[in-house]
Amino acid sequence: MKVVSFILSALASLSAAQQATLCKDFEYYSSNGYELNNNIWGRSSATSGSQCTYVNSVSSTGAKWTSNWQWQGGRDNVKSYVYSGRQITKKPVSQYNNLETEAYWVYDTSNIRCNVAYDLFTSANVNHPTSSGDYELMVWLGRYDVYPIGSSQGMVNVAGRQWELFYGLNGNMKVYSFVTPSGPIYNFKASMKDFFQYLANNKGFPITSQNLITYQFGTEAFTGGPAKFTVNQWSANAY
C-alpha cells in the first residue's frame, strides 16, 4: 500500500507541475482568466524547426510556463509568438483603472534571434478580430539581434524606465514599440496604462475611442536554438 500511495502521490505531483503540453501550431489552453497559445503562425518561412510549450501552472494569480524552440531559415521572418494572455472585457483604454502587470522570465541561451515582449492590440471596433488592430503597442523587455517595425523616435521615459521608442506600419496598423536600450529586463513590474497614456499625451493616440482587444506577453522567435524560454511568473490586471 505504501508503494501504491507513493506512486499515486508522484503522479499527482507530476500532474500539478505541468497542466498542459502545447506542440501543435495554434494549440491553446485557458484557465482562471488566462490563456496560452503555442502560436506558430510563421512556420511556412522556416526550412526546419519545432516548438513545444509546457504550461506549468495557471491560477488566479498568474501563469508559469516554458517554451522550447529551434528554427532555421527565413532569417528575418517571425516563426512564432508563443504567449500567455489575459482574458479581458473589451472597452476603451481610458476606462481601465488597472492594467498592472508583472513578468519574471529567462532564456537559457544567447544563440537566438528573438524578442521578449508585451503585445497589445487596440481597435475602434470592439468586435475587431484579435489577430490585428488599428494600433499595436509592444513593450520589448529583451532583444536578441532583431529590430522592431519602423524607425526610432528617440529615447523616452515611461513607467520609471528609459526606452527607445520605435514607430512604423504593419499594413494599416500603427505600431509603437518601447524597446529596452540597456539589456534584458528579467524582472518587470509596471502598468500598461502608463504606456498608452504616454502615446495619448505625445503621439495622438485616441485613448478614449480605442478599445483594448488583446493583452499578451511572450517571445517572437525568428531563428536559432535549441532555446528554452522560461516564464517563472506572469500576471496581468485588466479592469
Q: Which domain holds residue 132?
A: 20-236
Is 136 assigned a catalytic role? yes
Predicted confidence pLDDT, tens digits, the chain (239 residues): 333 343 334 334 444 468 999 999 999 999 999 999 999 999 999 999 999 999 999 999 999 999 999 999 999 999 999 999 999 999 999 999 999 999 999 999 989 999 999 999 999 999 999 999 999 999 999 999 999 999 999 999 999 999 999 999 999 999 999 999 999 999 999 999 999 999 999 999 999 999 999 999 999 999 999 999 999 999 999 99
- 9 located within any domain: no
- 193 located within any domain: yes
Spatial distance between the Cα atoms of 113 and 221, rounded to a whole number of angstroms: 7
Q: What CATH number corresponds to the domain at position 212?
A: 2.60.120.180
Q: 27, 100, 136, 164: which is the annotated catalytic residue? A: 136
- Comparing CA positions, the residue from 115, 46, 50 lying closest to residue 77 is 46
> In this structure, what DSSP letter does residue 131 have?
T
What nine digits make up the cell of 77? 521572418
Q: How many domains are there within the chain?
A: 1
- 15 located within any domain: no
Confirm if 122 and 137 have CB atoms less than 8 A apart.
Answer: yes
- 144 located within any domain: yes
Is 100 assigned a catalytic role? no
Residue 18: per-residue pLDDT: 85
Spatial distance between the Cα atoms of 99 and 72, rounded to a whole number of angstroms: 36
- 25 located within any domain: yes
Spatial distance between the Cα atoms of 229 and 82, rounded to a whole number of angstroms: 10
∠ CA 115-119-121, nearest 5°, is 150
Residue 83: per-residue pLDDT: 99
> In this structure, what DSSP letter does residue 12 have?
H
- 172 located within any domain: yes
- 3 located within any domain: no
- 14 located within any domain: no
Residue 21: per-residue pLDDT: 99
Spatial distance between the Cα atoms of 67 and 56, rounded to a whole number of angstroms: 10
